Structure 1
Amino acid sequence: MKRGTTLFLKIAVFLIGAPVLALGIFGLTWLPNNPANPDYAHILYPIVIGIYASVIPFFIALYQAFKLLGHIDKNQAFSELSVKALKNIKFCAITISGLYIVIEPFVFLVADLDDAPGLVIVGMVPIFASMVIAVFAAVLQRLLQEAIDIKSENDLTV
């Protein structure tokens, strides 16, 4: 694969992480202190804590994607290191989905108090998006593992 393609993807990984980092530093610290309605400010704390907790596996997954692109640059795409990186991405996506499932009842309470049913659907977006990523990483992991197995069988055949 051309180095320019992986360079573009590495820049894209960085550009995905930068706004999340900025939101975590500036946006989520502002939200509990300035709620739209002070009557349910206490419900925002579990939501913000859950979002902060989901940032950790998010950045681990971005790091694993960066490592996977590095393996592709070094022509080690069909290696156990790539399979391990995809496995870690899959587990991070499942963790993020699980954290947002735990947050969802609090989002429902805020939506019920604020009479905003669309907020529940918006709260489900990260759950389904991370599950799609987990399934996609699992499929890629399995395909890559099968390709490695076929390659090793061919290497053993003289």
Structure 2
Amino acid sequence: MKLVSTLFLKIAVILLGLPVLALCIFLVPELANVAAKLLPQFALMKYLVSIVFYASAIPFFFALYQAFKLLRYIDKNEAFSQISVNALKKIKYCAITISGLHLLVLPLFYLFAEMDDAPGVIFVGLVVPFASMVIAVFAAVLQKLLKEAIDIKSENDLTV
């Protein structure tokens, strides 16, 4: 039963990466062109937007890889180990990095909202940083709980 559930989660992790890969291929160049049209006085804006979005894809895929490794540790009955805590710590740092990078692009969402007279666009721009921070907090809580469980387990192993 456990292998089936981790297999489902592994497939889910892979399926999470596919839309982001498609967004990187198809949507990021369009966003860069829109940014260049919004701010024609800043010639390098197109490249800055591309760099920020592609740079945020790197920690995203690294975090997915760490989640995949965490699922492999669960399959091998190594879930309560220091390597699992390290994987959660890396996921936490990746989520914080993604949130920070997307906050850098938030002024661009403001300019787009002003141009299009649609203030809801700013809230759309806040979705990714907010979701990333939720994931970072969740990973930090799991990391702390797992660390405490490992400590309790090692104390019990010493007393027996």
TM-score normalised by structure 1 residue count:
0.91
Amino acid at match of 1:152: S
Alignment of 1:102-121 (within 5 A): 102-121=104-123
Other-structure match for 1:67: 69
The Cα of 1:74 is off from its aligned counterpart by 0.3
The Cα of 1:93 is off from its aligned counterpart by 0.4
The Cα of 1:64 is off from its aligned counterpart by 0.3
% identical aligned pairs = 65
Alignment of 1:58-137 (within 5 A): 58-137=60-139
Other-structure match for 1:55: 57
**Structure with higher RCO (Cα < 8 A, 6+ apart):** 1
Cα displacement string for residues 95-133 of structure 1 (whole angstroms, at most 9, x for unaligned residues): 011111111112212221222211100000011100100
Q: Which runs of 5+ in 2 are unaligned?
A: none
Q: In structure 1, the residue corresponding to 2:125 is in which secondary structure?
A: helix
CA-based RMSD: 1.9
Equivalent-residue separation in structure 1 for 2:89 and 2:70 (angstroms): 11
Over 3 Å counting, the alpha-carbon distance change for 1:74 and 1:39 in structure 2 is: closer
Equivalent-residue separation in structure 1 for 2:13 and 2:51 (angstroms): 24
Other-structure match for 2:2: 2
The answer as to whether partners of 1:46 and 1:106 remain within 8 angstroms in 2 is no
The answer as to whether partners of 1:87 and 1:138 remain within 8 angstroms in 2 is yes
Q: Which runs of 5+ in 1 are unaligned?
A: none
Over 3 Å counting, the alpha-carbon distance change for 1:107 and 1:44 in structure 2 is: farther
The answer as to whether partners of 2:70 and 2:79 remain within 8 angstroms in 1 is yes
Equivalent-residue separation in structure 2 for 1:30 and 1:106 (angstroms): 14
The number of aligned residues is 157
